Amino acid sequence: MLAGDADWGRALADDLCRHLSLAPTTWVSAHSPQAVESLRGRQALALLGQEREAVVFDAHSGFDPDVFGAVSGAVVGGGLLILLTPSLAQWPDFADPAAERISIAPLTFADVSGRFLQRLARVLGAAEGVTVVEQQAKSLPTLASDSVTSEPMPAFDRDGFRSADQRAAVAAIEHVVHGHRRRPVVLVADRGRGKSAALGIAAARLLGEGLKRIVVTAPRLDAVAPLFEQAAQRLPQARLRRGRLQWREASIEFHPPDELLASPIDAGLLLVDEAAAIPAPLLTRLLERHSRIAFATTVHGYEGTGRGFAVRFRRTLDTLTPGWREVRLRTPIRWAVDDPVEALVFRALLLDAEAAADERVADAVAEGCEFVRLDRDALADDEPSLSQLFGLLVQAHYRTRPNDLRNLLDGPGLRVYALRHGGQIVATALVAAEGGFDAGMAQAIAAGERRPRGHLIPQSLAAHLGLSEGARLRCARVMRIAVHPAAQRRGLGRRLLRQIRAQAEADGFDLLGASFGASAELLAFWAPEQLLPVRLGFSRDHASGAHSVMLLRPLSARGEAIFRAARERFLADFALQLSDPLRGLEPRLAARLLRRSGVEAGVEPPWRAVDEQAVSDFASGARGFEDCLGALYRLALRALADPACAVDADGQGLLVARLLQKRPWGEVATQLNVAGRAAVVEHLRRVADGLRQASKPAHRGGE
């Protein structure tokens, strides 16, 4: 580590790399000297899964935690990682360009606090195996290639494996194909253990044995580059292009997770890499759709955490595929056991952060917990509490990344709340302060002329819903909320949310809100606290496959007016959107979003006397579907809006799919697992009759 002026550090790093003959040398910097490979900023994420003898990371150009976490794993055993920084004493006050990612308008990166860098400088200065060279040092350390203690990569054995773990992993994947159906395997490993290579080796061997099509998915195509490279090396004359390997009549193909669900693809094997970075509901749908599947995930990694994956997904595997198997790869391949760089990165970025031990929180109940707002200055110096809190966020969210640690400590306007039990953190929430713009800026946002960074809900109210006044209000947005797995389903999350609402109201906020990937389970958590949907995004997230939903609850009279306007527009427009941009939305989720809350139950869609007669005639078989379509449409709206809907989940899905989304008869028949149109119509007659019998609608006007 070279701490001093930028020009001094860059020149010395260049000299060191040439002296040690460590080439090719990769520079991660906006201002690098002559180098074999120079990557700026987040371009360096392309190094994930690759191998380099020397990497120079120039923090003068910005310390992006995500980038540092990714590139540090590319250094092979016997290689060198050089970190260029300002003086350790001055670094916390450095205007770091990478802080732009967490700055919010009207602030810039120069206004972001230095808590993260202060902690990082402390960790680096105390780490074992790290040589720190300050610019004012009278002499420089002597570095020679034979002074490196880390061992080089192990050689291949006669079958092309670098460890017994890797051999066992490949055998387990082959067994998924050759053994009984619906018995998946889960590979779990830290970085550098040959996990992705094992997937590639197994894929090549299976093609060689006659398998015709293997599909690969992951959060990003770059994440599976090592898989394709390993397969290509083992298949003579294979043609490899980005995301596809063709060998004779067989192929290995990459498809994003959302694409696999939108357009099902038949394959002899599905390989899911970096599964921890894919939401559990999406993984569940892949598991249901593919009978031969192998998952692989990193335990402590840039993309996501295998620990959280295990907590969230193990129960699903036990239920759907009880014969599943886990294989762990423990032997490092890219470097030696107890590698100092790996240990340093884990500590610096809290990749190994752990929530409180289960036994310490097993008896926690909502009423017995202490609600606190954590002081972030104190939190940055309290390593046990910081590790507990971040470990809890890692377990709870599928894509918690190193930059989230920086946002936790430095994010402007961010508030950190927690519930403590016996001194242990059992629940936490991150809340962002948004909005409060003047009238001119609010109008500019509504007109699409300005997009100030970091104000998600006020901007959406103005730009998407046309409510420019919404950008003038102050909104407390719950960014993350997490409850310890050993203390869940005891009301802790609801207690925390209620305390946050009360605090936000006392602090003068107008709205409480949240935005996340929509699922029926999550909506059910927020609804009892009267946080209700006001907008659903039209496109799906490419990795999660979910539509983003925005929820609001008013906290002031001004907030009440905006909330009611937003809610009315959503309820008026959503049913129509279902037949066009949201036609592919899951019908049961759509039914959940259409449901009105108890306080809105008195507001009902229009209903006429002739509608009641038409539904009665349709239910009895006296009239056909097309003749009664309008009445059935209005019946569906009334039934789905009712908080105590008298039809089961299958019936709700039918009402949405056929009457609101207008999906083809054959598609709805498949959804219901019935033969065709006639069977769907018969099912619809029974649903209509059940609704008519349960509650005959009152007449609303004449014909």
* Fold topology of 401-578: Aminopeptidase (3.40.630)
Phi, psi of 46 (to 5 degrees): -65, -15
Of 26-40, 47-61, 251-265, least confident by mean pLDDT is 26-40
Interval 13-20 mean pLDDT: 79
Q: Would you say residue 144 has pLDDT above 60?
A: no
Residue 395's contacts (CB-CB under 8 Å, 6 or more residues apart) are 305, 307, 308, 311, 355, 482, 485
Question: Predicted confidence band at 32 (pLDDT cuts at 50, 70, 90)?
Answer: low
The listed range with the strongest mean pLDDT (40-44, 172-176, 262-266) is 172-176
Identify the pLDDT of residue 437: 97
pLDDT per residue over 629-645, tens digit each? Answer: 999 999 999 999 988 88
Q: Would you say residue 501 has pLDDT above 80?
A: yes
Question: Predicted confidence band at 13 (pLDDT cuts at 50, 70, 90)?
Answer: confident
The listed range with the strongest mean pLDDT (154-168, 358-372, 587-601) is 358-372
Cα(56)–Cα(106) distance, rounded to whole angstroms?
33
Q: Would you say residue 35 has pLDDT above 90?
A: no
Identify the pLDDT of residue 702: 43
Identify the pLDDT of residue 305: 52
Question: Predicted confidence band at 129 (pLDDT cuts at 50, 70, 90)?
Answer: confident
Q: List alpha helices for 218-369, DSSP H.
A: 225-233, 257-262, 280-289, 306-320, 340-349, 358-361
pLDDT per residue over 274-328, tens digit each? Answer: 888 888 888 998 999 999 999 998 877 655 455 557 666 888 999 999 999 999 9
Answer for the pair 230, 268: CB distance below 8 angstroms, yes or no: no
Interval 58-82 mean pLDDT: 89
Beta strands in 437-483 (DSSP E): 474-483
Cα(667)–Cα(656) distance, rounded to whole angstroms?
13
Interval 381-409 mean pLDDT: 91
Residue 211 CA to its chain's centroid (Å): 32
Of 157-171, 179-193, 352-366, 596-610, least confident by mean pLDDT is 596-610
Interval 107-124 mean pLDDT: 93
403-440 as b/e: b if 16+ CB within 10 A: bbbbbbbbbbebbbbbbbbeebbbbbbbbbbbbbbeee
- For the chain, the straight-line distance linking the first and the last C-alpha, in angstroms and rounded, comes to 81
Cis bond before residue 92 (omega within 30° of 0): no
Identify the pLDDT of residue 458: 97
SS3 575: helix
685, burial (CB in 10 Å: exposed 0-12, middle 13-18, buried 19+): middle
Cα(477)–Cα(459) distance, rounded to whole angstroms?
12
Question: Predicted confidence band at 408 (pLDDT cuts at 50, 70, 90)?
Answer: very high
SS3 579: coil
Q: Would you say residue 123 has pLDDT above 60?
A: yes
Identify the pLDDT of residue 574: 95
Identify the pLDDT of residue 698: 47
Q: Would you say residue 124 has pLDDT above 80?
A: yes
Tokens (6 digits) for 67: 């980038």
pLDDT per residue over 454-465, tens digit each? Answer: 999 999 999 999
Answer for the pair 429, 414: CB distance below 8 angstroms, yes or no: no
Q: Would you say residue 399 has pLDDT above 80?
A: no
Answer for the pair 228, 252: CB distance below 8 angstroms, yes or no: yes
| Average pLDDT over the chain, rounded to an integer | 89
Question: Predicted confidence band at 695 (pLDDT cuts at 50, 70, 90)?
Answer: low
Q: Would you say residue 362 has pLDDT above 80?
A: yes
Query: What DSSP element (H or E) covers 202?
Result: helix 195-208
Identify the pLDDT of residue 219: 86
Phi, psi of 298 (to 5 degrees): -90, 135
pLDDT per residue over 643-684, tens digit each? Answer: 888 899 999 999 999 999 999 999 999 989 999 999 999 999
> Per residue, what are the HEC states of 59-99?
HHHCCCHHHHHHHHCCEEEEEEEEEEECCCCCHHHCCCHHH
CATH of domain 2-147: 3.40.50.11040
Percent of all residues in the chain with a pLDDT value above 70, rounded to a whole number: 91
Q: Would you say residue 147 has pLDDT above 50?
A: no
Tokens (6 digits) for 379: 């939190």
pLDDT per residue over 184-200, tens digit each? Answer: 999 999 888 989 999 99
Of 6-10, 14-18, 362-366, least confident by mean pLDDT is 14-18
Q: Would you say residue 149 has pLDDT above 50?
A: no
- pTM, two decimal places: 0.88
Q: Would you say residue 425 has pLDDT above 90?
A: yes
Residue 57's contacts (CB-CB under 8 Å, 6 or more residues apart) are 28, 29, 67, 68, 71, 72, 81, 82, 83, 84
Pairing of the two strands 75-85 and 52-58? parallel
Q: Would you say residue 444 has pLDDT above 50?
A: yes
Find where tokens 């008026």 sit.
572
Q: Would you say residue 221 has pLDDT above 60?
A: yes
Residue 482 CA to its chain's centroid (Å): 14
Q: Would you say residue 46 has pLDDT above 80?
A: no
Q: Would you say residue 388 has pLDDT above 50?
A: yes
Identify the pLDDT of residue 153: 59
Identify the pLDDT of residue 341: 86
What are the residue ranges spanned by the domains of the chain? 2-147, 164-329, 401-578, 600-694
Tokens (6 digits) for 619: 């239910």
Cα(43)–Cα(130) distance, rounded to whole angstroms?
26
Identify the pLDDT of residue 263: 83
Q: Between 3.40.50.300, 3.30.360.10, 3.30.470.20, 1.10.540.10, what CATH number should domain 164-329 receive? A: 3.40.50.300
Identify the pLDDT of residue 23: 60
Identify the pLDDT of residue 601: 58
- Does 2-147 match 164-329 in CATH topology? yes
Question: Predicted confidence band at 500 (pLDDT cuts at 50, 70, 90)?
Answer: very high
Identify the pLDDT of residue 280: 80
Answer for the pair 492, 426: CB distance below 8 angstroms, yes or no: yes
Question: Predicted confidence band at 701 (pLDDT cuts at 50, 70, 90)?
Answer: very low
Beta strands in 310-413 (DSSP E): 325-329, 370-373
Q: Would you say residue 623 has pLDDT above 50?
A: yes
The listed range with the strongest mean pLDDT (344-353, 382-391, 396-405) is 382-391
